[in-house]
Structure 1
Amino acid sequence: MLSPPNHTYAAVVVIIDGCTVKCLTKAKTPFIDGLIERGSYSLSCKSIYPTVTYAAHSSILTGVKPHAHGIVGNTFYDRELDKIIDLDEYDVNSLLLSRTLFEMVEGVKAAVGEPVTKGADIVVTKEEVQSSGVWKQDEYAIEKAIDIIVKQRPTFLAMNLPGMDAISERFGPESREAIRAMEKVDELIGGLGDALRNNYADHLLVILSDHGLTEVRENLDLKALLKDLGPTEFLICPSHRFAHIYISSKEKREEAKRILRSDPRLELVLDARESEEFGLSSPRTGDLLVFAARGYELGPQKLKGSHGGIT
């Protein structure tokens, strides 16, 4: 075990996974309200594209967009490895192409429930945090963070609170359950704030979300939509309301783009060249990139709230 260093300050980043502005403003959040009054805040921040967990966390902790850090979605095809990468089953850190804050900051660095951990000295894994029931995950993460603060006094700690995202997907982003979860998160972060005040002479506490969510009512099957191309002509890697589509044939690619752009259930369809404008140009990027229109989910799960799209 690392000995607690004699640091008088700390920077702590708390990511409330899937927290929306509407949910935040509807919930009673006295601790966060107090921080807003005393500090700086913005309710108009924008996530990167696609607005999904692994890509967004990678940008938060590297400071660069997906084209630079290489995490272009929750799921994608890695041409170099000739492999479909599903980051729920694959270590995102082994694929990161950019340095993380953990590697840049001096002193002891800690990560709690955070998928991006490269360079951290102390790690409580995302899998450990999410092994608890959905209503207990955030509480577990905060308890672990406070324990690390008291015993190890890191100079930098980044943590992910995953409960809001799971609850909002299950019940809807503006549901009573999501608002109740947000109010509990506020209470928990208040306890974290107490621990920081009690263990450091000074600290910086940054609270943000990796992405928002929107209500969804229907799943859109892209494979069925492209069935006329032939079953072996394309590969689809969905990340909720976003998908990479890989098509080796240029002729089939143009045909697919025409089909997809004519469907009103899709808000935006880009080719690889156009992806540069969205910070997504990468060897891992699909030949076509698809963003669902409001209300539609491109993955297989039946959800009431989702993310990944433009809106």
Structure 2
Amino acid sequence: MRRHIRPTGIAGFRWLLLWGVLAALLCLARGEGKPTVFLISLDGIRPDYLERAETPFFDHLMETGAYSLELAPAFPTVTFSSHVNFATGVKAAQHGITLNTFYDTRTRERYRYAGDQALLEAEPIWTTATRQGVRTLVKDWVNAHNQTGPHATAYFGPHYTRGISDRERVERILRTWEEDEHGEPLRFILAYTESPDTEGHRYGPDAPETTAALAELDGFMAEVYERALALWRRTAGPEDVFYFVIVSDHGMAPVRYHVDPSRTIAIDPRITVTASSALTHYFFDQIADREEAMGLMQELREKLEAIEPITVHARDELPTAWDYAHPYRTGDLVALVPVPYAFFRHQGPGPIQPSEQTGRFFGAHGYDVRTEPTMMTVLMAQRHPEPLGSGNLGRIHGSQLHPTIARLLEIEPAETATAEPVRLAQ
């Protein structure tokens, strides 16, 4: 009978060492290198911008990589809510960022473009990655600021940096990556640009200035890609893989009319109002008498609905597909307007005024992508050294981004991010 002999002592150590080396070589032979992901959000790209603008870099990404011109962001399609949906894989009722500016009935505070991670009620992808050993750099990404705890990323900022150009914003990311001297390389980098959202709001989605902004951004992204690739190559092993992923948070709709209910409706000062272009929240929590609050709610609802084209939902009447009824950050009433209307303060005699008379704010977002296709946006991705070559991915959803990035990084998504990842590679 054959005996199984277990090596011991020095001989055993050498035997284990030999097997360790062989296992490492086998991993290399199987292509089990480490992935690095550079994820950059370009705010406010509508898919048809790519048809109008000269964008050779984006065109090349789509020809050789993977892309979708049908990325459907979650409701509401505003910058903060969309980015947090991307990051967490859940919708506003779960992640808690209901608008760019929202109110919380527990704290009775208004949070205006507040970027602290502590406001999130679901785990973002940068925390998911860090928790699983992926060194991460994130600056000027929505709600990634002032991180605390054991899973804070290697680099993050105290707040969003205003008053700098997109070039300066991304340069800071690349410079931080370049100057990083830690023994373990950064493997997940997140960046952001305000353009072409800024131009879309200012001039409108169909304006030549918006088209020109995208063309300029295309040239800049070509530079960023080459620099990011060079930084990755400094520490990359022979089997390592680099992913460059561009995503946008929403499209842009033309605004022909501005809606300002305050021109004809006097709001009780105890009612808290938070507004965005497509929707406005009204909170009645500071009215102690419940019967009085319900009466004021009904009265305000009737006055709002008398202004065409405003529609109003109570929180428990919101469409279930939106998953938007957050218990303390969604208003008791939510008023909405359709395209081409947008909530915007003006000095006209009535609640409705043509945007041409106001003289500014000709583009908006926040509308439901299911009924307003101009809210659709884009995703583009490439892999190095072997191009993805997957072509058009078809319709995808914002909640899929978190599990997709997790798959690229070869980590597990957060428990709450249950959407199917997008298959970027063939």
TM bracket (short chain): 0.7 to 0.9
C-alpha contact 2:195 2:214 (8 A) present in aligned 1: no
Asked which structure has the greater RCO (Cα within 8 Å, sep 6+), the reply is 2
| Aligned pair partner of 2:307 in 237, 257, 263 | 263
2:53–2:211 Cα contact (<8 Å) kept: yes
Q: Deviations over 1:257-293 (max 9, x none)?
A: 3343443333x43211123431211121001112222
SS in 1 for 2:66: coil
State the distance in 2 between where 1:92 and 1:303 align: 28
Q: Which TM-score applies when normalising by structure 2?
A: 0.64
State the Cα distance separating 1:126 from its structure 2 match. Answer: 6.3
The answer (yes or no) to whether the contact 2:95–2:122 under 8 Å persists in 1 is yes
Where do residues 87-166 of structure 1 align in structure 2 (5 Å cutoff)?
Answer: 87=113, 90-105=114-129, 106-117=133-144, 118=147, 119-123=152-156, 127-128=160-161, 130-132=162-164, 137-152=165-180, 153-166=185-198
Q: What amino acid does structure 2 have at the position aligned with 1:95? A: L
Task: Please report the RMSD computed on the Cα atoms of aligned residues, expressed in angstroms.
Answer: 2.3
Give 1:274-289 correspondences, 5 Å limit.
Answer: 274-275=317-318, 276-282=320-326, 283-289=328-334
How many positions carry a matched residue from both structures? 295
Distance 1:8 1:31 in 2: 26
Report how far residue 17 of structure 1 moved: 0.7
- Deviation readout 1:152-195 (Å, 9 max, x if unpaired): 35211111111211121111122111111111111111112112
How many Å separate the matches in 2 of 1:91 and 1:45? Answer: 24
- Measured in 2, the distance between the counterparts of 1:13 and 1:222 equals 40
Tell me whether 1:309 sits opposite 2:367 in the alignment: yes
CA deviation digits over 1:6-28, x for unaligned, max 9? x9531121111111112222111
Cα distance 1:169–1:71, how it changes in 2: closer, same or farther (>3 A)? same
2:82 to 56, 73, 90: 56
Q: Find out whether 1:45 has 2:71 as its counterpart.
A: yes
| Pair 1:247 & 2:284 matched | yes
Q: Which amino acid aligns with 1:59?
A: N
Please report how far the alpha carbon of residue 210 of structure 1 lies from its aligned counterpart in structure 2 after TM superposition.
0.8
- For residue 295 of structure 1, what is the amino acid of its counterpart? P
State the match for 1:3 in structure 2.
none
**Is residue 234 from structure 1 mapped to residue 271 from structure 2 by the alignment?**
yes
Compute the displacement of 1:237 (Å).
Answer: 0.8
TM (norm. structure 1) is 0.86
Residue 183 (1) aligns with residue 215 (2): yes
What's the offset of the Cα at 1:144? 2.1
CA contact (8 A) 2:115 2:159 kept: no
Equivalent-residue separation in structure 1 for 2:116 and 2:102 (angstroms): 12
Segments of 5+ residues of structure 1 without an aligned counterpart are 1-6
Question: Are 1:50 and 1:72, in contact at CA under 8 Å, matched by a contact in 2?
Answer: yes
Distance, in Å, in 2 between the alignment partners of 1:299 and 1:155 is 42
Structure 1 residues 26 and 125, CA, compared in 2 at 3 Å: closer, same or farther? farther
1:164-243 to 2 correspondences below 5 Å:
164-198=196-230, 199-200=232-233, 201-227=240-266, 231-232=268-269, 234-243=271-280
Change (3 A) 1:225 1:271: farther
After superposing the two structures, state which structure 1 stretch, 291-300 or 100-109, moved more. 291-300
Aligned equivalent of 2:111? 85
Matched, 1:273 2:316: yes
Are the counterparts in 2 of residues 16 and 161 from structure 1 also a CA contact under 8 Å? yes
**For 1:189 and 1:109, how far apart are their aligned partners in 2?**
21
SS across alignment from 1:237: strand
After superposition, the Cα gap between the structure-2 partners of 1:112 and 1:30, relative to the gap in structure 1 and judged at 3 Å, is farther
Q: Runs of 5+ in structure 2 lacking a partner?
A: 1-32, 234-239, 286-292, 347-359, 373-426
Alpha-carbon contact 1:54-1:92 (below 8 Å) kept: no
Runs of 4 or more consecutive aligned structure 1 residues displaced over 6 Å after TM superposition: none
Structure 1 residue matching 2:256: 3-state secondary structure: strand
Distance of 1:23 and 1:126 partners within structure 2: 30
Find the structure with the greater CA-based Rg.
2
TM-aligned CA deviation for residue 41 of structure 1: 1.4
Q: Identify the range of structure 1 (73-82 vs 250-259) with the bigger mean alpha-carbon deviation.
A: 250-259
Q: Quick one: structure 1 residues 124 and 188, their matched pair in 2 at CA, closer, same or farther if it must change by over 3 Å?
A: farther
Q: Distance in 2 between matches of 1:79 and 1:299?
A: 24
